[in-house]
A = this chain, B = another copy of it.
């Protein structure tokens, strides 16, 4: 089997930002008081999950580029408007940081945040997949609230 690219560095950023646009629409679909005020089955609110996303996306990328790892603290947004503002700021930061990663590093094993050891591409995939995973739980919360969530296939 080939060692050629399935996904290039450029395509990976495009893929990630497309998912982040969908996540933004899911955040926006929550009523203001339910983003941090609603959950199913004793789980976290979707707002708390978004703070987790914010604590991973830019800190993971910045740590990779600079070698300086933020402590893995959850984001601090407390309202829907704070989450959305942080989200939009991170979109620009991610676009600026991602091209600074040397592609030769992706298959190398590193330790992120002083504690997560793995291949760099696997660590990034974990961050993206974690967002897909918890966002889908936000979909269930919206359905249970009687709200139709954004279409999964729309990444515009």
Contacts and interface: CB of A to CB of B under 8 A. Distances in A.
Contact of A129 (B6, B132, B139, B144): B132
A94 interface: no
A126 interface: yes
A66 interface: no
A-B pairs with the 7 shortest C-beta distances? A41-B143, A4-B103, A136-B136, A5-B5, A6-B12, A1-B99, A2-B103
A3 B2 CA distance: 16
A152 B125 contact: no
The interface centre, meaning the residue of A4, A11, A119, A139 with most chain B CB atoms within 10 A of its CB, is A11
A121 B7 contact: yes
Interface in A1-37: 1-13, 15, 19
B136 A132 contact: yes
A8 B13 contact: no
A10 B5 contact: no
Nearest to A136: B136
A139 B133 CA distance: 9
Contacts of A137: 136-137, 139-140
A40 to B, nearest CB: 6
A64 to B, nearest CB: 12
Interface in A66-88: none
Interface in A116-156: 119, 121-122, 124-126, 129-130, 132-137, 139-140, 143-144, 152-153
A115 interface: no
